Structure 1
């Protein structure tokens, strides 16, 4: 269960959309979260990796030597 407070204008827009489409406000809130959650996770993972670089970095040549490109 999740309860969130939205600015009045956003709450109204969400309510209007729900009414026009016959869906619930919860449906649209859930859809919006699911749509953007992966982007947010990717963003924070990228920030973490920039702030905490790996101990070892491989060159493209090293990576290519490590895999069979003919398969």
Structure 2
């Protein structure tokens, strides 16, 4: 199910949305939806990276060299 969201933005921001959407060959609403979706994916990736760094700091995970990694693939 989809939900409708209405937002206010400065005229200059809307102008940029319209320009970038036109360059991408998309309607402004589809462009904004895509931009928000990409940002949410980026936030998810950042959270995963931060969790991985925390595991490294705590010693729960370790970094290995590419040689060690590929050597393990021979098994």
Normalising by the residue count of structure 2, what TM-score does the alignment of the two structures yield? 0.50
How large is the RMSD of aligned CA atoms in angstroms?
A: 3.5
2:44 equivalent in structure 1: 41
2:64 equivalent in structure 1: 59
Query: Which one of the candidate residues 5, 8, 21 is aligned to 2:7?
Result: 5
User: 1:25-59, CA deviations, whole angstroms, 9 ceiling, x for partnerless residues?
Assistant: 32111121233333222112111222233614253
Runs of 5+ in structure 1 lacking a partner? none
Misfit runs of 4+, over 4 Å: 20-23
Name which structure has the greater RCO, CA cutoff 8 Å, separation 6+.
Answer: 1
2:74 aligned with 1:68: yes
CA pair 58-29 structure 1, distance change in 2 beyond 3 A? closer
